[in-house]
Amino acid sequence: MGNLALGDGRVYVQSMTNVDTKDVEATVLQIERLATVGCEIVRVAAYDLEAANALKRIKERISIPLVADIHYDAKIAIRAIEAGVDKIRINPGNIPSKALKEVVAAAKEHGVAIRVGANSGSLKREFLEHYREKHVALAESVLEHVRALERLGFEDIVVSAKSSDVTETVEANRYVRNKVDYPLHVGLTEAGYGSQAIVKSAIAIGTLLMEGIGETIRVSLSADPVEEVRVAKWILGSLHLRKVPDLVACPTCARAEIDVMKLAEKVIALLDKFDKPIKVAVMGCVVNGIGEGADADIGVAGTKSGAVLMNKGRIVAQVPQDEIFQVLRREIENWEDWRA
């Protein structure tokens, strides 16, 4: 898809713009911000013909693959394909069969992939009545869309089965993966808000990725989409699927000699902009901090007068209280990954 090969073993990070697609400037600006933090595929809503028309100008100005999100109208889908998008996301169930044929023909002609999927909130009643378990109804609904495309001789397909419920999403994706081999786009839909949505998304996406299920991911948040990309990268980093910086910080207790929370907050903000797989430890005291931070490339552990600076658990310097962050920042910025 575009310059990416889904299924090449890499899990790609996807997000979606939330500005008006007709506002080309705002959309391009948001896509650039997303790409800067690590978004590799971006979806935009093409909700009418005018929005679809804007896609050509957007596509010309961005460097990551563009996906057009279309709900009902085949004309919009064809316009988006002609605009040069890399993938369209449609629901074949909402498009009459003659019009679907035309969409598929256009996608074939232009080499555009089609993502089909279903969300548990919009399942047809017959699926819910026919299949006792909701995750099966969700998965079978997705598979019906897949078969509709296959009957038209189209196989450049990406599949998604989403729910706001973690177990339902996991089970539905397992079911789909057992039935078809197309790349899967995984994530929750309407996940919730803030930490709650992050936890749910991390569990669902993490569980699936650990089973080798998922070629692209989206962490769907009610927030600036840049946040979605950050969280997605932390998920991939946690599973060692992507080299990203890591922070080890103790929860603090009565032994803490430094303000771990404040320092950890500053360090995570710094690491967020750092594109190397460094592991940094921020520990409250030397009693447990040295041993527990021994895995980190660089770390500090609080002392009565400030902190000790550590390198793989070895103490390499004493740092006064008011210089801890500056010293840590200098060490992080100068750090070279000798394993690279």
- Residues in the site for ligand SF4, rule: CB under 6 A? 250-253, 255-256, 283-285, 287-289
CB of 293 to ligand SF4, least distance (A): 8
CB of 296 to ligand SF4, least distance (A): 12
CB of 285 to ligand SF4, least distance (A): 3
Shortest-Cβ-distance residue relative to ligand SF4: 284
| Nearer residue to ligand SF4 within complex by CB, 217 or 247 | 247
Are 260 and 268 contacting, i.e. CB atoms less than 8 angstroms apart?
A: no
Eight-state DSSP code of residue 10: P
Helices (H), the chain: 24-37, 49-61, 74-82, 97-110, 125-130, 134-151, 166-179, 194-210, 225-238, 260-272, 286-292, 324-334
| Nearer residue to ligand SF4 within complex by CB, 183 or 289 | 289
| Nearer residue to ligand SF4 within complex by CB, 80 or 300 | 300
| Nearer residue to ligand SF4 within complex by CB, 97 or 305 | 305
CB of 249 to ligand SF4, least distance (A): 9
In sequence order, what are the residues at sequence separation of 6 or more whose Cβ sits closer than 8 angstroms to the Cβ of residue 42? 14, 15, 16, 17, 31, 34, 35, 62, 64, 65, 66, 67
In sequence order, what are the residues at sequence separation of 6 or more whose Cβ sits closer than 8 angstroms to the Cβ of residue 123? 134, 137, 138, 141
| Nearer residue to ligand SF4 within complex by CB, 231 or 310 | 310
CB of 308 to ligand SF4, least distance (A): 12
